[in-house]
Amino acid sequence: METYLLLGPEEGEKDEERKRIREDVLRRFPDAEETAYYVSDEKDSSIIDAILQPSLFSSHRLVTLKYFENASSVLTKGIAGIIESGEGDVDLVILSNASTTPFSKKVDEKITFKKVFWEEFERDKKLWIRNRFAKNGKRATENAVDEVMYSVENNKWEMGNMIDLISSFYRDKNEITDEDINKVTTREKGENGYTLFKEIAGRNLENALMIVSSIDLQDPKGLIASSVVLTNQFRLLESFMTLRASNLDEKSAFKNAEGLSGTFPLKEIRFPSQGAMRTASRNYTLNDVRRIIPLLKKNESEVKTCDDPKALMEDLVWSIIRKNGEESGTSLFPDELEVELM
How confident is the model over 233-246, as pLDDT tens digits? 999 999 999 999 99
Confidence grade of residue 58 (pLDDT, cut at 50, 70, 90): confident
- Whole-number pLDDT of residue 152: 65
**How far is residue 46's CA from residue 93's CA, in Å, rounded to a whole number?**
17
Residue 300 has pLDDT above 70, yes or no: yes
Q: Is the dihedral of CA 66, 305, 298, 279 positive or negative?
A: positive
* Rounded mean pLDDT, 112-126: 79
Q: Which of 294, 248, 251 is nearest to 269 (CA)?
A: 251
Q: Tell me which of 49-53, 166-170, 186-190 is least confident.
A: 186-190
Identity of the highest mean pLDDT range in 14-23, 166-175, 286-295: 286-295
**Residues 80, 81, 85: CA angle, nearest 5 degrees:** 115
Confidence grade of residue 189 (pLDDT, cut at 50, 70, 90): low
* Rounded mean pLDDT, 121-127: 76
**How far is residue 192's CA from residue 151's CA, in Å, rounded to a whole number?**
10
- Whole-number pLDDT of residue 221: 79
Confidence grade of residue 153 (pLDDT, cut at 50, 70, 90): low
Confidence grade of residue 332 (pLDDT, cut at 50, 70, 90): very low
Residue 267 has pLDDT above 70, yes or no: yes
Residue 315 has pLDDT above 90, yes or no: yes
- Whole-number pLDDT of residue 276: 93
Residue 330 has pLDDT above 90, yes or no: no
**How far is residue 8's CA from residue 69's CA, in Å, rounded to a whole number?**
10
Confidence grade of residue 53 (pLDDT, cut at 50, 70, 90): confident
For the entire predicted model, the pTM comes to 0.47
Residue 190 has pLDDT above 90, yes or no: no
- Whole-number pLDDT of residue 120: 64
- Whole-number pLDDT of residue 337: 38
- Whole-number pLDDT of residue 340: 37
Confidence grade of residue 264 (pLDDT, cut at 50, 70, 90): low
Residue 328 has pLDDT above 60, yes or no: no
**How far is residue 325's CA from residue 281's CA, in Å, rounded to a whole number?**
15
Q: 3-state SS string over the chain?
A: CCEEEEECCCHHHHHHHHHHHHHHHHHHCCCCEEEEEECCCCCHHHHHHHHHCCCCCCCCEEEEEECHHHCCHHHHHHHHHHHHHCCCCEEEEEECCCCCCCCCHHHHCCCCEEEECCCCCHHHHHHHHHHHHHHCCCEECHHHHHHHHHHCCCCHHHHHHHHHHHHHHCCCCCEECHHHHHHHHHHHHCCCHHHHHHHHHCCCHHHHHHHHHHHHHHCCCHHHHHHHHHHHHHHHHHHHHHHHHCCCCHHHHHHHCEEECCCCEEECCCHHHHHHHHHHHHHCCHHHHHHHHHHHHHHHHHCCCCCCHHHHHHHHHHHHHHHCCCCCCCCCCHHHHCCCCC
